[in-house]
């Protein structure tokens, strides 16, 4: 997969295997954003028109999104990273009191903070599925879901273990009880295939900072099903409403308009938009990154990423070490190695790896921990071999 020339930041590392923390920004994204900033600086025609910029930018980035997710543009909008999109969606759907929401005990803390406050606000019971040796099983999920479940909300790929949830079965279980399935896909989208309508999920939210190749930009994608669009009742701004005359540009100067009059919500996912002008700079940067992903093809990227991670799995298990998930691990690009050492000893090895210019992570929660490796489309098998050789040598010196 010959794309390294698009990622000059790779030159700073012997091997960068840490996309689950942050991806690299491609030159295509830089060019899109610089072109747009130049356009703004010159104040060219249309720079002050939401109608013009929506056609030139928003429609293009959402078209790239629909290619990635195999959905319709009408079901997509933008978010500012993951948590903001989840918050905006949840605050637009109001559960009845005494319902329950379900999540997982090793979720990223931003999700747990959000769900605790959401449950408190609406007097919901928060049910948390417990891991078994760092892994989750459908039978445990099924035990907690009932006809009073409002939603199952969790990560489609777990940030510590790399477990890829069975979304189709999870959706079946939830929908049999009338519950929504809302997915945090920040460790999934851009890395592995995720087709929401095929999986049956109701919402997918993913910040761009990791596998979507938009680190520290503040971008992201949000998919919302038709049923959830209809159900949602967000706070009204103006630009998440329908223009009274077809285009906003024609409406601003009309003397007969009443600013306190009635407006109708849009009937697509952009009903959930911010209400003011869209974040066009974030959109252009995400657009340039999505072009790279779609040009290669997400199915090819998935095969590439899981092949590299699978090589790590085979070598680690052959050495008699363990990974979180053990034999249940499959088809993921995040793999967490359990060295069997104390956390402090493992931290020493992790720091040695970093000092060699090999970028990975040390991650843990609820007693589970390990060295997390996460290759992406700009990695090659030689990056894996560099990491494995250094890890094996480090362990052999103990």
Topology, domain 28-294: 3.40.640
Dist CA 160 CA 330 (whole Å): 14
- The ranges assigned to domains in the chain are 4-17+297-396, 28-294
Q: What is the mean pLDDT of the chain?
A: 95
Side-chain half-sphere CA neighbours of 44 within 13 A:
10
Same fold, 4-17+297-396 and 28-294: no
Dist CA 375 CA 118 (whole Å): 34
Dist CA 326 CA 165 (whole Å): 15
Q: What is the pTM of this model?
A: 0.95
Topology, domain 4-17+297-396: 3.90.1150
> Pick the residue with more confidence: 261 or 154?
154
pLDDT digits (tens, 9 = 90+) for 175-213: 999 999 999 999 999 999 999 999 999 999 999 999 999
pLDDT digits (tens, 9 = 90+) for 262-298: 999 999 999 999 889 899 999 999 999 999 999 999 9
Q: Is the pLDDT of residue 398 over 70?
A: no
Q: Provide CB contacts within 8 A for 187, sequence distance 6+.
A: 20, 155, 156, 157, 158, 159, 162, 210, 211, 334
Report the run of H or E that residue 31 belongs to, with start and end. Answer: helix 27-41
């Amino acid at each position: 997969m010959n794309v390294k020339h698009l990622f000059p930041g790779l030159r700073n590392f012997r091997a960068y295997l840490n996309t689950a923390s942050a991806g690299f920004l491609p030159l295509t994204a830089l060019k899109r954003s610089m072109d747009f900033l130049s356009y703004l600086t010159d104040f060219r025609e249309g720079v002050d028109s939401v109608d013009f910029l929506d056609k030139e930018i928003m429609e293009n980035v959402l078209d790239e999104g629909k290619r990635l997710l195999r959905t319709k543009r009408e079901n997509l909008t933008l978010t500012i990273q993951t948590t903001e999109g989840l918050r905006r969606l949840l605050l637009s759907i109001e559960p009845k009191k005494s319902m329950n929401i379900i999540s997982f005990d090793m979720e990223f803390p931003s999700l747990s903070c959000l769900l605790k406050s959401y449950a408190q606000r609406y007097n919901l019971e928060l049910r948390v599925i417990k891991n078994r040796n760092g892994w989750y099983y459908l039978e445990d999920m099924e035990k907690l879901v009932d006809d009073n479940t409002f939603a199952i909300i969790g990560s489609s790929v777990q940030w510590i273990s790399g477990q890829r949830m069975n979304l189709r079965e999870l959706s079946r279980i939830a929908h049999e009880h009338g519950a929504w399935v809302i997915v945090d896909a920040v460790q999934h989208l851009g890395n592995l295939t995720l087709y929401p309508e095929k999986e049956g999920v109701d919402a997918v939210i993913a910040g761009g900072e990791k596998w979507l190749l938009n680190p520290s930009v503040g971008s992201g994608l949000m998919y919302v099903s038709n049923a959830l669009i209809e159900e949602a009742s967000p706070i009204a701004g103006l630009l998440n409403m329908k223009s009274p005359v077809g285009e906003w540009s024609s409406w601003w100067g009309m003397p007969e308009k009443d600013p306190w009059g009635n407006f109708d919500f849009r009937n697509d996912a952009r009903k959930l938009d911010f209400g003011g002008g869209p974040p066009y700079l974030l959109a252009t940067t995400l657009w340039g990154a999505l072009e790279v992903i779609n040009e290669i093809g997400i199915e090819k990227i998935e095969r590439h990423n899981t092949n590299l991670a699978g090589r790590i799995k085979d070598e680690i298990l052959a050495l008699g070490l363990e990974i979180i998930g053990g034999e249940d691990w499959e088809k993921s690009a995040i793999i967490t190695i359990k060295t069997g050492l104390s956390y402090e000893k493992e931290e020493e090895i992790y720091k040695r790896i970093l000092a060699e210019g090999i970028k990975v992570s040390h991650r843990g929660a609820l007693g589970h921990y390990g060295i997390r490796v996460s290759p992406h489309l700009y990695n090659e098998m030689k990056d894996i071999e560099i990491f494995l050789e250094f890890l094996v040598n480090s362990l052999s010196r103990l």
